[in-house]
């Protein structure tokens, strides 16, 4: 028996248009092979101009999302408009009306998931959001279903294509951060205002969602440590390469022995033989270490019209098959609430090896002063490299520390930066391992 699912779509932008395109091109295939009939019952956008092309093709259209949500003949609402407040309003209204929801809105999920998921569970509704993290990479379904025979012990992800493109181009061509960013903007890989991406905010939303799924606790993205890539220099990229590493912006999750959660976003030096090191350009990747499964890597297009739209449509097909004659209950997400918060490990309580770059005046005793401060803070040094820099009278000193607690490194850097011989604020980048 064919399963008919009537869909209300909010948002006709890049991804919304891609969803319509995929459904139009594959509708007959879904009916024939999967017994699923995906019917776009109504398409909603902000203005008559935006919905006009779809109205001309015979679709029912509207500019009133709440009116569409109230239509009892519509089974599922797709939210692809973006933003925080209005999507929250629409999704909560849809759930109150006992409608299922599919969204690609990672920012809204990260900010308001603690309201959305308990309501969905209360009303027996599905909320699917595969496209919210990693675009076309099926990481959400993998964690929720594919890895249930294992527990995720560690996760590292390259989850922002803009940053990965910038860092890749800096490594390939020796570009400055500013030049690589400009190139990314010219190629459509970075927004005119790139702050959301380059300062790690987008990665924080996605990392918090993944950390929540892995831990079964609510991880508040506003409470995790976030450092972006805007302070990474061509010199850092070159130094990392000489050490046998690449610099990547990573979202990181780890579990403590006591059930606490290590969740953060920052640049990392990744060994060149690590699975993540080969993920360049605008590609995304999620690397997981599981207790029974071992190591696994999922990689693919993390954004873009059709990859993201493909993930949305995959959720629709899964939803249609799951709700056929009530055959499958929604995955429980009611635990995603502020009453079930993760105990976050403060970043200064974490341990790592550290890449430290100091720009100093070319004078006697500077290196001795720096190493003396490391000794005072009980920090062992793995290696020291001294280099000339373009500015006359200055020297670049690169120190690689042994593994130690971050609070010790921060105390040492504060003392070093206060030295009169330090010409610029010191650089610190963590090693992945």
Annotated catalytic residues are: 206
242 labelled binding-site residue: no
Q: Are 199 and 226 in contact (CB under 8 A)?
A: yes
Residue with tokens 């080969």: 278
12 labelled binding-site residue: yes
Residue with tokens 């009169």: 420
- Burial of 294 per CB tally in 10 Å (0-12, 13-18, 19+): exposed
191 labelled binding-site residue: yes
259 labelled binding-site residue: no
Q: Are 111 and 135 in contact (CB under 8 A)?
A: no
User: Which residues on adjacent β-strands are paired with residue 152?
Assistant: 290
- Interior CA angle at 50 toward 320 and 75, to 5°? 20
What is the Cα–Cα distance from 151 to 173, expressed in whole angstroms?
40
- Among residues 350, 357, 379, 349, which one has the least CA distance to residue 428? 357
- Among residues 162, 152, 158, which one has the least CA distance to residue 185? 162
323 labelled binding-site residue: no
Residue with tokens 């403590």: 256
10 labelled binding-site residue: yes
17 labelled binding-site residue: yes
256 labelled binding-site residue: no
Binding-site members are: 10-17, 106, 191
Binding-site members for NADP(+) are: 10-17
Binding-site members for L-homoserine are: 191
Binding-site members for NADPH are: 106
């Amino acid at each position: 028996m064919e399963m008919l699912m009537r869909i209300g779509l909010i948002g006709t932008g890049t991804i919304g248009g891609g969803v319509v395109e995929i459904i139009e091109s594959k509708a007959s295939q879904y009916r024939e092979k999967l017994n699923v009939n995906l019917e776009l019952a109504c398409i909603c956008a902000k203005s008559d101009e935006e919905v006009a092309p779809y109205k001309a093709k015979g679709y029912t259209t509207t500019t009133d999302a709440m009116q569409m949500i109230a239509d009892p003949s519509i089974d599922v609402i797709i939210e692809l408009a973006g933003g925080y407040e209005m999507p929250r309003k629409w999704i909560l209204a849809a759930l109150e009306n006992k409608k299922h929801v599919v969204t690609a809105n990672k920012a809204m999920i990260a900010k308001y998931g603690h309201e959305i998921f308990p309501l969905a569970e209360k009303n027996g509704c599905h909320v699917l959001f595969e496209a919210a993290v990693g675009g076309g990479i099926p990481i959400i379904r993998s964690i929720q279903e594919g890895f249930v025979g294992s527990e995720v012990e560690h996760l590292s992800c390259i989850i922002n294509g803009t940053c990965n493109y910038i860092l890749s181009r800096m490594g390939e061509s020796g570009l400055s951060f500013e030049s690589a960013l400009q190139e990314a903007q010219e190629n459509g890989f970075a927004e005119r205002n790139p702050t959301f991406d380059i300062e790690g905010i987008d990665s924080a939303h996605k990392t918090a969602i993944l950390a929540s799924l892995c831990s079964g606790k609510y991880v508040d993205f506003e409470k995790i440590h976030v450092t972006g890539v805007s302070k990474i220099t061509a010199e850092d990229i070159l130094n990392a390469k000489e050490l046998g590493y690449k610099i990547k912006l990573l979202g990181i999750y780890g579990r403590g022995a006591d059930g606490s959660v290590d969740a953060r976003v920052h640049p990392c030096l990744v060994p060149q033989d690590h699975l993540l090191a080969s993920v360049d350009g605008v590609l995304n990747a999620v690397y997981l270490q599981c207790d029974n499964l071992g190591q696994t890597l999922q990689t693919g297009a993390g954004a873009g019209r059709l990859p993201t739209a493909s993930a949305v449509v995959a959720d629709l097909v899964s939803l249609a098959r799951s709700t056929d004659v009530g055959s499958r209950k929604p995955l429980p997400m009611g635990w995603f609430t502020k009453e079930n918060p993760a105990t976050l490990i403060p970043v200064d309580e974490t341990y790592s090896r550290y890449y430290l770059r100091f720009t100093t005046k070319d004078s006697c005793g500077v290196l001795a002063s720096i190493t003396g401060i490391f000794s005072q803070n009980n920090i062992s040094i793995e290696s020291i490299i001294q280099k000339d820099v373009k500015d006359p009278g200055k020297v670049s000193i690169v120190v690689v520390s042994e593994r130690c607690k971050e609070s010790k490194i921060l105390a040492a850097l504060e003392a070093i930066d206060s030295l009169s011989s330090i010409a610029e604020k010191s650089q610190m980048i963590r090693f992945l391992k």
